[in-house]
């Protein structure tokens, strides 16, 4: 028996994989590099979720994922800013 999956199902799986399974343990890490990878995974997962939600017409959920996407971008920006400040003080 073959399992038939369309592109929408694959994008949903990618959303869960990146947004939850990869991101969750890395975002809470003490190391900035791991947090950066975790926040990048949140961005990827949110992006995939937004694609699916727009396709299905779940427009209110798009705002929730856009919120997470923007917060992850803000977190990456703060990590980069802190690293630059650390290099200057060294």
Closest CA to 44 of 76, 19, 78: 19
Q: Mark out the alpha helices in the chain (DSSP H runs).
A: 7-16, 23-27, 32-56, 59-89
Residue 1: predicted pLDDT: 54
- Whether the model pTM is above 0.85: yes
**Residue 30 DSSP SS3:** coil
Please, are residues 72 and 43 in contact by the beta-carbon 8 Å criterion? yes
| Rounded-to-integer distance, Cα 9 and Cα 15, Å | 10
Residue 37: predicted pLDDT: 96
Each of the 90 residues of the chain gets a pLDDT tens digit; together they read: 567 889 999 999 999 999 999 999 999 999 999 999 999 999 999 999 999 999 999 999 999 999 999 999 999 999 999 988 888 776
| Rounded-to-integer distance, Cα 55 and Cα 68, Å | 19
């Amino acid at each position: 028996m073959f399992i038939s999956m369309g592109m929408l199902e694959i994008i949903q799986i990618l959303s869960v994989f990146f947004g939850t399974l990869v991101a969750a343990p890395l975002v809470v890490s003490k190391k900035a590099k791991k947090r950066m990878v975790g926040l990048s995974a949140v961005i990827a997962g949110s992006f995939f979720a937004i694609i699916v939600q727009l396709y299905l017409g779940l427009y209110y959920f798009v705002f929730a994922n856009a919120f997470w996407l923007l917060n992850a971008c803000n977190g990456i920006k703060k990590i980069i800013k802190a690293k630059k400040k650390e290099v200057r003080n060294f």
